[in-house]
Each structure stands twice: as C-alpha cells, then as structure tokens.
Amino acid sequence: MRRGKGTRTRHRRFFRISVSLAVVCACGGTSVFASDESESQATDPVSTSEPPPTRGLLVNVETRNDEGFVFCALWPDAQGYPVQRDRAAHDGASKQLKNQIAQIHFEAVADGEYALACFHDENGNKMLDTNFLGIPSEGTGASNDARSFMGPPSYKAARFVISQGKPDVLAIRIDY
C-alpha cells in the first residue's frame, strides 16, 4: 500500500518538531512560554477581568528503561499539534528517570483543553532518532495513550481537559 505525500510530510514534520523540542528543552530544562492573554492583561492596567485559573500539571511518563531523558510539550489546540513547537503552550524535559518513570512538571497551566506529545531520548543525544524511513527508533507517546497507524496521533485523540475538580496528574506510556 502506498502512502500519500501528505501523510509522509506530516510524519516528517512531527519528527522535526520533536528534534526542535529536544534541543530547546535540553538547553533550559522546563520552559514556559507566555500566552497572548497574559501579555495583554499585563499591559492593560485598568483591566477588571481576572486571569484564568492556573495550576501545576505533573506528567508521569512510563519508559522501558532509566536511560536518557523524556521530552514533552502541551498544545492548547489542534493548530500545530504535534508538528509546530512554537504553537505549544508549554514544554519540558525530565532531569532523570527513576524506576522507569520520568516526571515532568508544567507550572501555571491555565484551565482548558490540551494535548500532550512526548518522546524518550534513550541515548541522550537530545533528539528523536529515526531510521532511514523516518520512523522513530526511540519511543513516543501522547496523552490518552493516543495512537495512529501512520504518523503522529491526532489532537482530537490526545486531547484532555485541565480544570478544577480534575486530577492534576497525567500518566503517559511510551510506545516503542
């Protein structure tokens, strides 16, 4: 069966963004990108609306070994998921794995709908390694254990809600 060009392009973009994510995360640990909402509220001194509630989110990622690092990013909508890292609301990297679990903590995550994508950089080279066909040779995962036959899972399959009354802990299983 022959794959369409769109599938192949989307698959390659996913891996490019994973590599970009790995480099950015490894350089600074957990990073938080300012949202447009917080910037507009900071510049408007007479704003009477309150900022949306925020909370921390702990992501526990199950891996097959304790080698390397795990890199993750949160996207607030389908645009760019999981291809364009610049559209991700938050990104982070594990500092070390223990008992085959990586913990990534995202701070100040606003209530809302998100999807998470991550990968296990087993050899510690700060990038997602792929074979000659572009298929990952290191593990990848997504929220809701979303899977796809070819390429990355869809935002719809991976989306989850962060809100008051919902758990602030997310469990991800890396698929190799």
C-alpha 76/C-alpha 115 separation (Å) is 7
Number of folded domains that form the chain: 1
pTM over 0.85: no
Average pLDDT on 23-36 reads 36
Peptide bond between residue 82 and the one before it cis (omega within 30 degrees of 0): yes
The whole domain housing 101 covers 5-173
- Of residues 36 and 154, more confidence is placed in 154
Contact 91, 31 (CB under 8 A): yes
Residue 13 has pLDDT above 60, yes or no: no
What residue has token string 């364009």? 84
- Of residues 166 and 110, more confidence is placed in 110
C-alpha 63/C-alpha 83 separation (Å) is 22
Contact 146, 34 (CB under 8 A): no
| pLDDT tens digits, one per residue of 43-89 | 445 556 777 778 889 999 999 999 999 999 999 999 989 878 788 99
